[in-house]
Structure 1
Amino acid sequence: MTTSATEQTTTSAATTTFESAVIFNIAFTTAGFIIFDLIRKKSKRIFEPRTYIIPEEKRSPQVPNGFLKWVKPTLMTPDEELIARVGLDGYMFLRVIRAFMRLFVAFTVIGIGIILPLNHVGQSDQPGLESFTIGNIKDNERLYAHVIACYLFTAAILYMMYHEYYTYIRLRHECLTTPEHRVSARATTILVLGVPRQLNNETDLKNLYNVFPGGVKRIWLNREPTRLIDLTAKRMKALNKLENAETVFLEKYLKYLAKDGGSGQDVENGNKIPTSLRPTHKTIPLIGKKVDSIETYRDEINKLNEEINDQRTKTDTFKQLESAFIQFNDFVGAQLAATSTIPRLTEISRDDVIWENLKVTNPSRVARKIISYTITATLIILWAIPVTFVATISSLSALTSVIPFLKPLVTRLPQSAIGFIQGVLPAIGLALLMVCLPYILRALSKFEGLIRHSDVMLSLQGKYFFFLLFNVLLVTTTVNGAAQAIPAIINNPTSIIKNLAENLPKASTFFLTYVLLSLSTASIEALQVGSLSSYLVTKKFLVKTPRQILHLETTLVYKDWGVTFPPHILIASIGIVYSVIQPLILPFTALHFALFYLAYRYNFLYVYDQIYETNGNLFVHAMEQFFWGIFIFQLTIIGLMFLNDAHIPGVLAVILFIITISTVLGMRAYFQHNPKAEFLPVNLMGVIDMKTNKVIANTDFTKSTSSVTEDEKVDQGSKNKQISENPLTDIDDEYTDPNVVHIKHGDIEKKRGVNAYTHPALIVANPLVWIPQDNTEMYKEEIKGCQDSGLNATSRGAKINEKYKVEVDITKAPNITDEFYVEEAESSDAMKRNTTNGIRRLFSKIW
């Protein structure tokens, strides 16, 4: 080994780089979790909203106060309770994080206990971190251990994936066959695309689909109400302005009364309120006529109401689309129809529909998909340019001999500064480069014409992962390895193979710092930095009306799986690729998943809400993406074996690669065609209880839970008790094993009736104006003014406090949803209604 000054500087800088990254990220992570522990009780809205905002059946119990008192309820909540609260998507996500944590803990034992000493002791004696890499080995006999470790790691991963696949399919079946789900609109309805024009009417479609069990219950022919959508959006904009004007006026009036001389005598004597208090605006900015804002917006809403109501009487004139929602009387009929017809979608929730994409035709979807993937591929390639630049910073010391003008700059800096620049800045820079990507890729996925928001998330998940895989793992590895090898190759061009074999493992230093940076993001996840900042800024400066405040206080954060899953699959891929190259990466990878498991489990239990559900499909996509990490891991080992002239270990690695591909293909075929692994086997559609393997009547499942009598409930409870007291002996089968997690009950769906799959613009009613109360009761005059002009208005659950700020009591707020804004009677029941979901969907358009 050469010991030139440049190489010594590079090695010293690499060690300092690692030390700086460890100190910075461990300190940041520890501080983040401590701060979270100290402030979590100071803002229940941010850190415990699921304990009071969501419906009672989904709520989590209060978290005890005290240092680290949140850890026990977070980790000790049973899986069956967890899945009931967070859904199958959230549960499978947490299972994957936990599975990776367990894998990398086991890999750490092997890597640190066996591989690292083999790399380090009695070999080339490279200084610093390089002495722990596979590049330090000069005795090729030791490389057999690395290949054996590769076999063990691969076997453990494949077993984990098989077990998680099997568990997922069982849980998915249980989810789809719960009594609540079987009678839901989501389970009994399919969306048929590309309906031929001659069949695109209720009569012919009903005749066509009535052959399936139970027959057709209802058909919704999709239309394109573009004009109605525009009018509804304008009305909501005017409503927002009216409520803002009403709130500003009441606040000004209260302040006016509080001033000296503002006793309110002019009001009591029947005189007009000073005109200066009435909000005004110009019809055209700067040059238009000044008008009274409240009266103008009231008139505008009234005119829009009339035009919208008129448009609703002309729905038959709206352009008819080539699609229809078909609801069956029986769950089995919907399942069979979905497998026997032209392109269709099942398990489609009304809230999940992207209505504007229904007008996209099937040929157009194909063209859009080609365009989307072409642009995505181009972005992936072009993004490699800035990624390459960022990656070279982590090899700054090595490049000083190739780029002379860098040498004076680097030599003047202290080692701590070089360590920070190489160890912290590149990882942060790479993370910042990826910040805007999800927005671009999400727009491309939506452009494809996908019908469901959940499908957009799945499409984004695939695009984002391959973006990360190519630019973070492949490009960065290549750039760092080349940067380390270039000086040696320039000095001795004939030894290019040897230099590549020695220097490619040195790229692991960058990924050590990258994984370390991910530890700090776990504390950011727990702290909810983005949500907390957004909430505080919005509450302070951006919301004023009761509607805006209610939306802010009751809309929960949700995870976009398209950008949540890929970074963790990438970390797992990085960990496995460098597991035997640089075993030091293994404990940090295990720590990454341990910290994120803790942070995510807490947030799913107490913070996050999920609007869109894929019934766990995101898990399948994530596992298939991780296959790429396994393949890169094995190909890297094959390359390093042959670069080091270790031909027999190389051949063994090639054999493992072939075995792995065969196993993966076999696993996919098994889970696609095995009777128990089908999407929903016929025997689960209504004649066999999958948890007990007992033959039952189809009507036992399809009977609505709301129609079950108390005697039937008691009888069913007795049957369940007998089953639990006499468990089946086939405990190897997870379908009947009482010791594994099961889904006992599905979500009870909101009943929508004849409007279940009607376009929202066709059914939204005239809006309700929400005005806050004031202690002078001036709000009553404003409500009367709205009612006299033909608008519905209320003041329930909102008031202006002594500091002239609006307060909202979410338990007394009016029942405002995305479908109906009809004023209800002033009853205690109506005042107690929680309007979280409706307000959230309403403001998703406004904001």
Structure 2
Amino acid sequence: MSDSTTTSSGASLSGLVATLVPTFVVAAVYFFIFVVLRRSNVRWYAPRTYLGALREEERTKPLPSGWFNWIGPFSKIPDLYALQHQGLDAYLFLRFLRMTVVLMFVGCCITWPILFPINATGGGRAQQLDILSMSNIDSTTSSGKNRYYATCFVGWIYFGFVLFLVTRETIYYVNLRQAYLLSPAFANRISSRTVLFISVPPAYLEESKLRKVFGSAVRHIWIAADTEKVDELVEKRDDIANQLESAEVKLIKTANGERLKAIKNGASQEEQPVIDDSGESGSLASRWVPQKKRPTHKLGKFGLYGKKVDTINWARSQLETIIPETEVAQGSYLAGETKKVGSVFIEFAQQSDAQIAYQTLAHHQALQMSPRYIGVHPHEVIWKSLTISWWQRVVRRFAVVGFIAALIVFWAIPVAAVGLISNVTYLESFSWLSWLKAVPTWIMGVISGLLPSVALSILMSLVPIIMRRKFSSYV
């Protein structure tokens, strides 16, 4: 048993070092890459400073372009600047990060000065960093047992602080949201006066009936229609256009490379018009690129089989057909000739009218004209989800909740395995794991310190991916 204690004690410091050193190294590498790339990749790191799609008052003031002279001006930017320029969500996310820092700092100030001395003098035989934990308290004596009260009372104090901070932030959020929704910058938007109603009964999919329900406060009504055919044609058109663009760029690069090689070998730099076999003027690229080197692809699924065709010629012929079909489908949709779906956008004259309609029961039957959304931007709407009926929504909700419950249950298995790895130094007490005593201390530190952190971060990173996948078609 003493060997086990020695091994675990020696692994505590090496585990801490094995965890912190790679973390600092990775952070330093990412920070270096950011500092280098931010100067030349403004499109990625500072798009709001110059994009023409933003109004002048919506743009962000650019930071200095030096290596490190941007840190000072960046640290002086108040959080309210994000509220005014990027909206409520961005501001609250920054405030959430700030509150997590406050929680950790206050927790350290409350627990460290009290619990560290109590645990360090607990009378146990732990060594290195383990003397700061509860495992160093000798529970066989009455004074050692009384030391556990300190942990209990400190936990109460810190938990009370957490509840206080959560309550304060909740009250702050309510007041901030009301002030933000009533501000001129938000109240003057059409989205602040527009309510989206889902699962509207077929009998109410007429503008006259909707105006009768909501009264004279209604300004405009947009009844959503089925966009499945238009979406398919637009998606197919865009895919072919992107494929054509990529092929033409590849051809241009290939032709330019061949041209430079020819000039290097003494060919003329003047580009003469090219005449093909039929006597017609052809592409300049054909002067430098033979037919067999032009971009090609196979028509089969995933491009793995099927007839091989010239990508540029094929894409152009496909676009000649699909573009008119897309325009016809779009015209039919705009003319109201497509099937109506159970979703309606209603714009009201005043923001107060929209809020009243949003909070009022609009139909006597359950799940009809519900759920409702207000302040929604067009790019935030999942248009294909507007066709989901109320019973499909109920089935999907139960399916998603069931899936999440099952995910929580089964996710405990890999998390428990990670927990065993983090306590691997204590497993050598089992006879069939006695061979762990022969493992060097620094290796045990890496296994119990770094490996669980990496494994847990990988497991946690998969959760948002799975959730987004499940909720991608759910309003």
Query: TM (normalized to structure 1)?
Result: 0.48
User: What is the distance in 2 between the residues matched to 1:369 and 1:334?
Assistant: 27
Aligned to 2:434: 407
Q: Deviations over 1:442-489 (max 9, x none)?
A: 122235x31xxxxxxxxxxxxxxxxxxxxxxxxxxxxxxxxxxxxxxx
Aligned to 2:417: 389
Q: Is 1:435 matched up with 2:461?
A: yes
Aligned to 1:243: 245
Q: Which amino acid aligns with 1:161?
A: V
Q: 1:446 to 1:22 in 2, by over 3 A?
A: closer
User: What is the distance in 1 between the residues matched to 2:105 and 2:306?
Assistant: 70
Aligned pairs (5 A) from 1:659-678: none
The CA deviation at 1:261 is 5.7
Q: Is 1:320 matched up with 2:340?
A: yes
Q: Deviations over 1:613-641 (max 9, x none)?
A: xxxxxxxxxxxxxxxxxxxxxxxxxxxxx
Q: 1:321 to 1:238 in 2, by over 3 A?
A: same
Aligned pairs (5 A) from 1:217-366: 217-251=219-253, 254=256, 258=260, 259=262, 260=267, 263-267=270-274, 272-273=281-282, 274=286, 279=294, 281=296, 284=299, 288=307, 290=309, 293-315=311-333, 316-340=336-360, 341=362, 342-343=369-370, 344-366=372-394
Q: Which amino acid aligns with 1:264?
A: E
The one of 172, 175, 179 equivalent to 2:180 is: 175
Aligned to 2:193: 188
Q: Is 1:446 matched up with 2:444?
A: no
Q: 1:403 to 1:366 in 2, by over 3 A?
A: farther
User: What is the distance in 1 between the residues matched to 2:135 and 2:404?
Assistant: 36
Question: Any idea what SS the aligned residue of 1:324 has?
Answer: strand
| C-alpha contact 2:79 2:94 (8 A) present in aligned 1 | no
Question: Any idea what SS the aligned residue of 1:397 has?
Answer: helix
The CA deviation at 1:417 is 1.4
Unmatched runs of 5 consecutive residues or more in structure 2: 363-368
Question: Any idea what SS the aligned residue of 1:207 has?
Answer: helix
Q: Deviations over 1:688-727 (max 9, x none)?
A: xxxxxxxxxxxxxxxxxxxxxxxxxxxxxxxxxxxxxxxx
The CA deviation at 1:78 is 2.3
User: What is the distance in 1 between the residues matched to 2:101 and 2:227?
Assistant: 50
Aligned pairs (5 A) from 1:561-640: none
Aligned to 1:112: 112
| C-alpha contact 2:18 2:449 (8 A) present in aligned 1 | yes
User: What is the distance in 2 between the residues matched to 1:105 and 1:244?
Assistant: 51
Aligned to 2:404: 376
Q: Is 1:157 matched up with 2:162?
A: yes
Q: Which amino acid aligns with 1:14?
A: S
Q: Percent identity of the aligned residues? A: 26
Q: 1:5 to 1:368 in 2, by over 3 A?
A: same
Question: Any idea what SS the aligned residue of 2:39 has?
Answer: helix
| C-alpha contact 2:199 2:388 (8 A) present in aligned 1 | no
The CA deviation at 1:27 is 4.8
User: What is the distance in 2 between the residues matched to 1:398 and 1:389?
Assistant: 14
The CA deviation at 1:423 is 0.8
Aligned to 1:693: none
Aligned to 1:76: 76
Q: Which amino acid aligns with 2:200?
A: V
Query: TM (normalized to structure 2)?
Result: 0.82
| C-alpha contact 1:252 1:277 (8 A) present in aligned 2 | no
Alignment RMSD (CA, Å): 3.0
The one of 201, 206, 217 equivalent to 2:206 is: 201
The CA deviation at 1:287 is 5.8
Question: Any idea what SS the aligned residue of 2:115 has?
Answer: helix
Unmatched runs of 5 consecutive residues or more in structure 1: 451-847
Q: 1:377 to 1:191 in 2, by over 3 A?
A: same
Aligned to 2:365: none
Question: Any idea what SS the aligned residue of 1:424 has?
Answer: helix
Question: Any idea what SS the aligned residue of 1:170 has?
Answer: helix
Q: Which amino acid aligns with 1:153?
A: Y
Question: Any idea what SS the aligned residue of 1:363 has?
Answer: helix
Q: Deviations over 1:131-183 (max 9, x none)?
A: 22234334233344333323322332222222222222222112211223223
User: What is the distance in 2 between the residues matched to 1:114 and 1:148?
Assistant: 11
Q: Is 1:146 matched up with 2:173?
A: no
The CA deviation at 1:189 is 0.8
Q: 1:102 to 1:249 in 2, by over 3 A?
A: closer
User: What is the distance in 1 between the residues matched to 2:315 and 2:33?
Assistant: 46
Question: Any idea what SS the aligned residue of 1:321 has?
Answer: strand
User: What is the distance in 1 between the residues matched to 2:415 and 2:103?
Assistant: 30
Q: Which amino acid aligns with 1:385?
A: I
| C-alpha contact 1:394 1:422 (8 A) present in aligned 2 | yes
Q: Deviations over 1:402-439 (max 9, x none)?
A: 152x433x333321111111110111112122333322
Question: Any idea what SS the aligned residue of 1:184 has?
Answer: coil
Q: 1:351 to 1:266 in 2, by over 3 A?
A: closer
